[in-house]
Amino acid sequence: LTKSHILVSGIKGTVAEFCKNIVLAGVGSVTLMDDSLVNEEALNANFLIPPDENAYRGKTVAEICCDSLKDFNPMVLVSVEKGDLSARSTEFFEKFDVVVIGYGSLATKKAVNEKCRKLSKRVAFYTVDCRDSCGEIFVDLQDYKYTKKKLEEKVECELNFPSYQEAVSVPWKPIPRRTAKLYFAMRVIEVFEENEGRKHGQCSLLDLPTVLEIKKKLCEANTVSESHVPDSLLERLITGTIEFPPACAIVGGILAQEVIKAVSGKGEPLKNFFYYDAQDGKGVMENISNSFTS
């Protein structure tokens, strides 16, 4: 744990919580990437940014958060990396043991995941996205060996994780009915933001018709009925663009637990999606891969 290097890109409320947690736990280093400037919106659920305009004027979110995080645990090296994550070479990621992409675009998530998988060193890959009072975590640990406690003994286990590309392209029809609707809803939103060139949260009620169109097309392509993805859920996700602080605490906490487990190699990891929805209060793990079709 104390020798682990974590790369974190995209810092909003949930990721701020996550960073706080791993810094307190005592990871080796945390590298922050987020070149957006501090503005009013960033102040909302991000408690790492002091609301003093003089302090944050002109600085990037990553820079401000870096200073705050260092305070929590002086033993952890917190630094900032500027630039575009998706433009980085494969070798760049070799420095890290864990890569966490917050609020990333579909293209970025796929590209970075691919690069991580190309390396001979196993780099743990996570994505996290929170909207309204919902959250999604994705985990890719490739071929992962770990130990877990069964009664009084330690047991060696192995798990095989699908890539991000595979996990989001799984045909919908064979996926069990009781799977969290958020999985499907997030895929629709992903496609919408990709098509329209939007960043996370750059949407509103006005976009609903477009989003519903995309949903319709996806459902048709997957030969499932449109009721597969509730319209009300989609509406919530595109109107509730600000994160809900309690949901940030919850999702950020779960993500931190997962990263800490993965880095120490102890304990059963989450495989491979986690969904939280404050409306029903459930936090569920969904295992989604191409194995459904076989």
Partner 1 sequence: MDTQQQQQQSSIQGAKVLMVGAGGIGCELLKTLALSGFQDIHIGAKVLMVGAGGIGCELLKTLALSGFQDIHIIDMDTIEVSNLNRQFLFRRSHVGQSKAKVARDAVLRFRPHINIRSYHANVKNPEFDVDFFKQFDVVLNGLDNLDARRHVNRLCLAADVPLVESGTTGFLGQVTVHVKGKTECYECQTKPAPKTYPVCTITSTPTKFVHCIVWAKDLLFAKLFGDKNQDNDLNVRANNAASSSKETEDVFERAEDEDIDQYGRKIYDHVFGYNIEAALSNEETWKNRRRPRPIYSKEVLPESMSQQNGSTQNCSATDDDSTVSAMPLLGLKNPQELWGLTQNSLVFIEALKLFFAKRKKEIGHLTFDKDDQLAVEFVTAAANIRAESFGIPLHSLFEAKGIAGNIVHAVATTNAIVAGLIVIEAIKVLKKDADKYRMTYCLEHPSRKMLLMPVEPFEPNPACYVCSKTPLVLEINTQKSKLRDLVDKIVTAKLGMNLPLIMHGASLLYEVGDDLDDIMVANYNANLEKSLSELPSPVINGSILTVEDLQQELSCKINVKHREEFDEEKEPEGMVLSGWTQSPATNGESASTSNDENEKAVDVTESSSGPEMASKKRRLSETQPENDKKETENVESDDDELMEIENPVMVSKKKKRVE
The answer to whether the beta carbons of residues 197 and 106 sit under 8 Å apart is no
Residue with smaller CB distance to partner 1, 106 or 249: 249
CA dihedral of 119, 123, 124, 130, whole degrees rounded to 10: -80
Give the binding range for partner 1 (CB under 8 A) out of 22-30, 95-103, 139-147, 166-174: 22-30
Residues across the chain: 294
Report which of 250, 14, 279, 246 is spatially closest to residue 130, judged by C-alpha positions.
14
Distance of CA 65 to the CA centre of its chain: 18
Q: Is 13 in the site for partner 1 (CB under 8 A)?
A: yes
The 245-284 contact track toward partner 1, x by CB under 8 A, reads xxxxxx-xxx-xx--x-------x-x---x-x-x-xxxxx
Shortest Å distance, C-beta 76 to partner 1: 11
Site for partner 1 (CB under 8 A): how many residues?
57
Report which of 65, 82, 63, 61 is spatially closest to residue 23, judged by C-alpha positions.
65
The 111-150 contact track toward partner 1, x by CB under 8 A, reads ---------------------xx-----------------
Interface with partner 1 (CB under 8 A), residue from 7, 8, 17, 115: 17
* Contacts made by residues 138-144, CB under 8 angstroms, sequence distance 24+: 138/109, 138/164, 138/167, 138/272, 138/273, 139/258, 139/262, 139/269, 139/270, 139/271, 139/272, 139/273, 139/274, 140/113, 140/116, 140/164, 140/167, 140/272, 141/262, 141/269, 142/117, 144/262, 144/269
Shortest Å distance, C-beta 19 to partner 1: 11
Shortest Å distance, C-beta 250 to partner 1: 4
Q: Is 210 in the site for partner 1 (CB under 8 A)?
A: no
The 24-63 contact track toward partner 1, x by CB under 8 A, reads xxx-------------xx-xxx-x-xxx-x----------
Residue with smaller CB distance to partner 1, 112 or 162: 162
The 10 Å CB-count burial string (b at 16+, else e) for 236-257 is bbbbeeebbbebbbbbbebbbb
Residues at the contact surface with partner 1, assessed by CB under 8 A: 2, 13, 17, 20-21, 24-26, 40-41, 43-45, 47, 49-51, 53, 71-73, 75, 132-133, 151-152, 177-178, 239-242, 244-250, 252-254, 256-257, 260, 268, 270, 274, 276, 278, 280-286
